[in-house]
Amino acid sequence: MLFFSVSTYKFLINLAPRGKISAGSDFLFKRAVTVFISLCLAMTGLCIRIVGISTESVQAGKTVSTKSIDLTTVKGTIYDCEFRPITNSSTEIFIAAKPSDRAIAKLRNVLKTEVFESVKERMSKGKPIAVKSEKALDNSDEIMTVYVPKRYEDNCFACHVIGYTDGENNGVSGIEKAYNTLLSSEIKIPLVRFSADANGRTMLGESISVEDNGMPKTGVVLTIDRDIQEIAEIALDKSGAVCAAAVVMDVESGAIKACVSRPAFDRNNLADALNNKNSPLINRAFLPFSVGSVFKPVVAAAALENGIDGSFEYNCTGNVTYNGVTFNCHKRNGHGILDMEGALANSCNTYFISLAVETGAENIIGTAEKFGFGKPTALAEGIKSASGYLPKENEIDSKAALANLSFGQGSLLATPIQICSMMSAIANGGKSVEAYLVEGEIDSQGSFIKTAKRPNASCRGNKNKIKNECRRHKIRKTQ
């Protein structure tokens, strides 16, 4: 440009009129100057643009973008009564890797064949990966092992109480469903981030980073005690029962310390549960069943409440007949003469048939209502057990029907929760307690807020008593 300007300048000097200046020559000179200045400006602008484009190209080549892969979704934690986590209590392994031959070779040693083939195909296209693994790998520039919170344990612990979530992490059953809003109010999504150039290619020289791999502060605190829950689960499994339930309750407060239903289900593999004919997704602790002889204490309580003394005696001969129906005692040759305490200890059918006839259907049904039979039990917000069925007085229209009711037969139905509440009232000196499952919530600041409108239930207070009782019956925790 400088050469052009100097040459043009000399040309203009030669054009400049000398001596007497005519109007024509003056016009030609001025026009040449105008053209010269215009060309200079144009060339200057062009040079500036060329330099600008060159600079932008250099910067673009140096620009570093990133690619990220979400690993999982971490919701708020569900705790036991001692603030020990029941969910998010363990970790699972993810391996993040850049697309390189060395990374592929290492992944081959830790991934299952079908998973590895899928990962290899993606990496062969130059794409980074993050995959769940049962084994960890040593970290390098190309590989990073990441430990993230695992929602559920592998042993189906308290599965019916906790419940499970769907593919979008929304609660479907149990506490997961009832407290889905709270547990989802603060979500962490751990992710791995890879550096990439302007063309989207993963940069092998840059390290892999992990972000947002933390734990939400929000949560729910249950009345469940991990230790007692585990003992109850082991006991039920040892019993050999296929479809069964067990409930442990603090008799003074109504706090449920253990709630077990069998069969259990694996929350990490719901397909098996859906195909199981024994319907493991059902929480049998909340469903009604025929009551049987555990109803006899209600008949005894009704008698005592209506002036019949505990010294009331009856001679059990092994069976009794009412309205043409014969009812047998489990001891076919009879227990002989029993009072109320002896009849309870021996679970004598014929004694309680006689006691029920003496007490009357109206009084027995009225007492059963006070114990909570025939109505649902609200255990927490959004969680309640079934009401069961308590027959009306007009349904007990004969002594045979009353005899059936006296030892828990006929149309009478109750849930394990109701039976546990009834027995707790008796053990508590006649003071009725309401069963409940949730002590409180943990807010976004990590502060515990008690929501249960119950007296403070000590998680430790009766634990040793319960453990000792389990040991007395030779129910021991296995290692």
Specify the residue for token string 């602008």. Answer: 45
What pLDDT does residue 65 have? 82
Q: Is the pLDDT of residue 51 over 90?
A: no
Rounded Cα distance between 314 and 364, Å, is 19
Residue pLDDT, tens place only, 307-330: 999 999 999 999 999 999 999 999
pTM: 0.80
- Taking CA 379 as the corner, what is the angle to CA 373 and CA 382, rounded to the nearest 5 degrees? 115
Q: What percent of the chain has pLDDT over 90?
A: 74
Name residue 245's amino acid: A
Rounded Cα distance between 415 and 421, Å, is 10
Tokens of 368: 């059963």
Residue pLDDT, tens place only, 20-39: 545 555 555 566 556 666 66
Rounded Cα distance between 229 and 237, Å, is 12
Rounded Cα distance between 99 and 125, Å, is 8
CA distance readout (Å), 229 to 155, 223, 248, 470, 477: 13, 11, 8, 12, 11
What pLDDT does residue 106 have? 96
